[in-house]
Chains A and B, each alone.
Chain A
């Protein structure tokens, strides 16, 4: 198979790569770029563990090919950290409210929450549920995840004041 050359900006860093046309965006991010935070859960687009932001919009990296991301801006969970590698505001809220247990779905949850809060720093409960409605979590029953997002929204509003 002929490889394709692609360019993508991943967590604000420009990358060029030569990829097989059938390589999934998920495997590209994990294996080629070395960003292991994005996880494989179901590979059929249901669980949301592989969510990343593509030009600011959450998508399933398991359902997209790396070549389709040519020219795009991608944010993974690693990209939500502060520049010094410490947890960003949303990540810190998830720690504070313990919005996780095993941590496997957490990157996808954070990506979905990030997309929500980027547009709306005062989300209702229903809006939060809609935002993470496509992310399955087996550990938490979602309650502490919702509380984490609510805490992050509160802190965002306080920071904006």
Chain B
């Protein structure tokens, strides 16, 4: 569908309150823990203490004998009653069950589950379960896992390799040969994740009378119900996922499939609602919520003026024990594999391996943050190698504003952008010249001070075709989003969306666009979340897609509502639709404004006066709209090129850091960010996500890591060990917006939920390396923790 460019905006892009906030500040939100059903029983899980061990026996007799315990379930029992959880790639010999069967594959893997009358009793019972393990040597290092020929995480699979693919787009070898020089760089992205403050929780209730499994879950996942049904062996329409549950943060990780299979299975078996709320330890070790853990080997070919010609990338990713959709996190970054730069050709080798660690799930950006970190480190390395200014090298390589739409070698077409202007806005906001002076003054005083420069793209609204790039059997060419708009007999408007929301303000966004299109105050529009049996298709709020997809669907549905109102009015006013004008619900003759119909009259006719409806029009007043991803619907061409994402937001990050030379502690003292996501629907929401993502990126850059020792023991199960930034670690961020509208969406909007996180790690790493420059050392591994930097500084000083 074609949209008119946004104009004369009344509600879009205006400072307006976020409607979701009222329930959050008053304690009136409904998170999964707040949903109470009579007779609910409570589950607790027993984690494996070993990274790799044979389960010789499980004795649950004492636990089952405890007063109040209903059932103890082990993996061996469960596996006879359910299917393995479907993986993203077809790996039939890797069987993933919600509980370990015969063998444990990581520390924290759930070995048994107890259901009891209350959560305290369930946890008491865990202590009474006796498991006899035979510990085995674990597969821990991803390079070793790749090379391993005998010790396999999944012995039946016969290898630790989940995926190994080679892609070539453009004349890479010719470009390398023609370039003035090249360099190689190894970068490493540490294992971290999004770690929402709410753990995953689920309440499932099987109803014998309706034969429906009702599920309330803190979920954010496109194929959740399909996976749940397939694993339990139920028809899809026997599961009703309630989408009106508030989700306490997700940013990608709230997948919860094994948890929900367990709760659903146990509810049906016991005939009672069953609730499983992860505690923090279960969540960190066994909740399957870790993110990418990636080693990049990159070669860049460049000219002496800093112009980059070509790039070769090898990415080795440690997916942990059960892959889920993890390998695809190597494929999504293909959508922006050359970043915002004019790079003529690219070679990409992607390898996903399994190890005896917690499984990897999608994390904010779906693999784009590590990739962007690698690209930006490579650009900095080119500048360093040539003795050129980092800023100047970027300016020489950034795509120019007149070149859009711009197709990159792998096939994605960047829709719009003005990268140079946004970068300049960031520099102006940072006060770049003063910042340089501040840095140099600090250095003169003997301190380690550095400025970071990083840019990044944020692909938004993907069409899922990256799956096909890894698995040509997966001919999935849409990633639609639907909505319904209903006008009731009183004329009130209700929008129905089909997904949960986890902090992104979708209700506000949806209402704002409906209000804008229909000329109605958004505060007068009700927004509800349909359940999975009643709502239109949704693909959930992943991939920075909701403003693009739900926003455009909302505009489409509003257009249908207006069309219907116009048709009713034309019929009753004896005019052609073309003669009429819609304005805030009232329809009037352009040439004779006194000839008009009110909204109330139109609604009355729609619901009550069938004799006044145009011939053939159904009674009632509603519209459905399912929006297809712009540019989607295609398979790759013969050269393997395909557009994966339609919209590309852009950011420029300029932080300033100082490093304590004695301890290696990094202080982020200033941070300027310039941001362009096209038209902003709600400024407070977008600003919050940009800054929040950036803070998350500071965590990934400096603090956060799920650590394992050499034997595979897990070391980061608490918030005392896995360090998330508090307010003290986050600087007083200054931000500025720029607007380059997307030509593809209803109001020119693009995505904004991921960008801060995609750029900040690179920016902080750039700043730290700038601070270390006087010592002649660099660091290319995240997180850059105090003791790593202290050791690096000491080593440099001792030379």
Interfacial residues, chain A to chain B (CB-CB below 8 A)? 20, 22-23, 27, 30, 35-44, 46-47, 49, 76-78, 80-81, 85, 87, 91-92, 94-98, 100-107, 110, 125, 129, 132-146
Given contacts A44-B719, A95-B17, contact A139 B27 (CB under 8 A): no
Within 716-739 of B, Cβ neighbours of A (below 8 Å) are at 718-720, 724, 726-728, 730, 732-733
Contact of A102 among B199, B248, B687, B756 (CB under 8 A): B248
B29 cross-chain contacts in A, Cβ below 8 A: 37, 103
B714 cross-chain contacts in A, Cβ below 8 A: none
B297 cross-chain contacts in A, Cβ below 8 A: none
Contact of A141 among B120, B246, B695 (CB under 8 A): B695
Additional A-B contact list (5), CB under 8 Å, known A102-B198, A103-B246, A135-B727: A27-B119, A87-B26, A138-B251, A141-B756, A144-B687
Q: Which residue of A lies closest to B720 (CB)?
A: A46
Q: Which residue of A lies closest to B18 (CB)?
A: A98
What mask results when residues 389 to 401 of chain B are scored 1 for a CB within 8 Å of chain A, else 0? 0000000000000
B687 cross-chain contacts in A, Cβ below 8 A: 144
Provide a sorted-by-A list of 20 A–B residue pairs whose CB atoms are within 8 angstroms: A20-B120, A35-B27, A36-B27, A37-B29, A38-B27, A39-B33, A41-B199, A42-B718, A43-B279, A77-B25, A87-B26, A94-B21, A125-B732, A136-B719, A136-B726, A139-B688, A141-B688, A141-B694, A141-B695, A146-B727
Q: Are A42 and B249 in contact (CB under 8 A)?
A: no
Q: How far is the CB of A128 from chain B (nearest CB, A)?
A: 8
A76-B25 Cα distance, complex, nearest whole Å: 11
A30-B504 Cα distance, complex, nearest whole Å: 26
A37-B34 Cα distance, complex, nearest whole Å: 9
Q: Are A94 and B25 in contact (CB under 8 A)?
A: yes
What mask results when residues 1 to 26 of chain B are scored 1 for a CB within 8 Å of chain A, else 0? 00000000000000001101111111
Residue in A85, A129, A141 whose Cβ sees the most chain B Cβ within 10 Å: A141
A104-B24 Cα distance, complex, nearest whole Å: 7
Q: Are B691 and A140 in contact (CB under 8 A)?
A: yes
B247 cross-chain contacts in A, Cβ below 8 A: 102
Q: Interface-forming stretch among B50-58, B189-197, B258-266?
A: B189-197
A133-B729 Cα distance, complex, nearest whole Å: 10
Residue in A96, A101, A105, A137 whose Cβ sees the most chain B Cβ within 10 Å: A101
Q: Are A103 and B730 in contact (CB under 8 A)?
A: no
A39-B32 Cα distance, complex, nearest whole Å: 11
Residue in B25, B691, B695, B718 whose Cβ sees the most chain A Cβ within 10 Å: B25
A135 cross-chain contacts in B, Cβ below 8 A: 726-727
Count B-side interface residues using an 8 Å CB cutoff.
58
A84-B494 Cα distance, complex, nearest whole Å: 27
* B503 interface contact, C-beta 8 A: yes
* B685 interface contact, C-beta 8 A: yes
* B692 interface contact, C-beta 8 A: yes
B195 cross-chain contacts in A, Cβ below 8 A: 138
A107-B251 Cα distance, complex, nearest whole Å: 20
Q: How far is the CB of B74 from chain A (nearest CB, A)?
A: 26
Interfacial residues, chain B to chain A (CB-CB below 8 A)? 17-18, 20-29, 31, 33-34, 119-120, 194-199, 246-251, 277, 279-280, 502-505, 684-685, 687-689, 691-696, 718-720, 724, 726-728, 730, 732-733, 756
Q: How far is the CB of B771 from chain A (nearest CB, A)?
A: 22
Q: How far is the CB of A106 from chain B (nearest CB, A)?
A: 5
A42-B689 Cα distance, complex, nearest whole Å: 23
Q: Which residue of B lies closest to A106 (CB)?
A: B24
A94 cross-chain contacts in B, Cβ below 8 A: 21, 25
A40 cross-chain contacts in B, Cβ below 8 A: 33, 199, 277
Given contacts A101-B692, A102-B198, A103-B246, contact A42 B280 (CB under 8 A): yes
Q: Are B719 and A140 in contact (CB under 8 A)?
A: no
Q: Are A140 and B26 in contact (CB under 8 A)?
A: no
Q: Are A44 and B280 in contact (CB under 8 A)?
A: yes
A39 cross-chain contacts in B, Cβ below 8 A: 31, 33, 197-198, 248
Q: Are A98 and B246 in contact (CB under 8 A)?
A: no
Q: Which residue of B lies closest to A24 (CB)?
A: B120
Q: Which residue of A lies closest to B25 (CB)?
A: A91
**Shortest beta-carbon contacts, A-B, top 5:** A37-B27, A103-B24, A141-B695, A104-B248, A102-B503
Given contacts A78-B26, A101-B505, A134-B726, contact A42 B719 (CB under 8 A): yes
Q: Which residue of A lies closest to B685 (CB)?
A: A98
Q: Are B730 and A141 in contact (CB under 8 A)?
A: yes
Q: How far is the CB of A115 from chain B (nearest CB, A)?
A: 15
Given contacts A43-B280, A49-B197, A136-B726, contact A101 B25 (CB under 8 A): no
A40-B280 Cα distance, complex, nearest whole Å: 9
Q: Are B194 and A138 in contact (CB under 8 A)?
A: yes
Q: How far is the CB of B686 from chain A (nearest CB, A)?
A: 10
Residue in B17, B20, B33, B198 whose Cβ sees the most chain A Cβ within 10 Å: B198
A113-B197 Cα distance, complex, nearest whole Å: 19
Given contacts A42-B280, A78-B26, A91-B26, contact A36 B33 (CB under 8 A): yes
Q: Which residue of B lies closest to A97 (CB)?
A: B684
Q: Are A104 and B197 in contact (CB under 8 A)?
A: yes
Q: Which residue of B lies closest to A107 (CB)?
A: B27
Q: Which residue of B lies closest to A126 (CB)?
A: B728
B727 cross-chain contacts in A, Cβ below 8 A: 129, 132-133, 135, 142, 145-146
Given contacts A103-B248, A105-B197, contact A36 B34 (CB under 8 A): yes
A102 cross-chain contacts in B, Cβ below 8 A: 24, 196-198, 246-250, 502-503
A96-B18 Cα distance, complex, nearest whole Å: 8
Q: Which residue of A lies closest to B283 (CB)?
A: A42
Q: Are B249 and A139 in contact (CB under 8 A)?
A: yes
A81-B28 Cα distance, complex, nearest whole Å: 11
B34 cross-chain contacts in A, Cβ below 8 A: 36
Q: Are B196 and A104 in contact (CB under 8 A)?
A: yes
A139-B248 Cα distance, complex, nearest whole Å: 9
Q: Are A143 and B24 in contact (CB under 8 A)?
A: no
Given contacts A39-B31, A44-B720, A138-B195, contact A100 B695 (CB under 8 A): no
Contact of A87 among B25, B199, B279, B720 (CB under 8 A): B25
A143-B352 Cα distance, complex, nearest whole Å: 37
Contact of B249 among A20, A35, A104 (CB under 8 A): A104
Q: How far is the CB of A70 from chain B (nearest CB, A)?
A: 20
Q: Are A133 and B726 in contact (CB under 8 A)?
A: yes
Contact of A95 among B21, B28, B756 (CB under 8 A): B21
A133-B724 Cα distance, complex, nearest whole Å: 12
Q: Which residue of A lies closest to B698 (CB)?
A: A141
Contact of A101 among B198, B689, B726 (CB under 8 A): B689
Q: Are B684 and A144 in contact (CB under 8 A)?
A: yes
Q: How far is the CB of B203 from chain A (nearest CB, A)?
A: 14
Q: Are B732 and A143 in contact (CB under 8 A)?
A: yes
Q: How far is the CB of A67 from chain B (nearest CB, A)?
A: 14
Q: Are B18 and A95 in contact (CB under 8 A)?
A: yes
Q: How far is the CB of B20 from chain A (nearest CB, A)?
A: 7
A80-B24 Cα distance, complex, nearest whole Å: 12
Q: Which residue of A lies closest to B29 (CB)?
A: A103
Q: How far is the CB of B9 from chain A (nearest CB, A)?
A: 19
Q: Are B719 and A96 in contact (CB under 8 A)?
A: no
Q: Which residue of B lies closest to A129 (CB)?
A: B727
Q: Are B504 and A101 in contact (CB under 8 A)?
A: yes
Q: Which residue of B lies closest to A35 (CB)?
A: B27
Given contacts A136-B197, A146-B727, contact A101 B688 (CB under 8 A): yes
B279 cross-chain contacts in A, Cβ below 8 A: 43
A42-B31 Cα distance, complex, nearest whole Å: 16
A91-B27 Cα distance, complex, nearest whole Å: 10
Q: How far is the CB of A146 from chain B (nearest CB, A)?
A: 7
Contact of B21 among A47, A100, A145 (CB under 8 A): A100
A76-B478 Cα distance, complex, nearest whole Å: 46
A145 cross-chain contacts in B, Cβ below 8 A: 727
A57-B29 Cα distance, complex, nearest whole Å: 24
Given contacts A98-B684, A129-B728, A142-B727, contact A85 B26 (CB under 8 A): yes
Q: Are A144 and B691 in contact (CB under 8 A)?
A: yes
A143 cross-chain contacts in B, Cβ below 8 A: 691, 730, 732-733
Given contacts A37-B27, A42-B718, contact A144 B33 (CB under 8 A): no
Q: Which residue of A lies closest to B28 (CB)?
A: A37
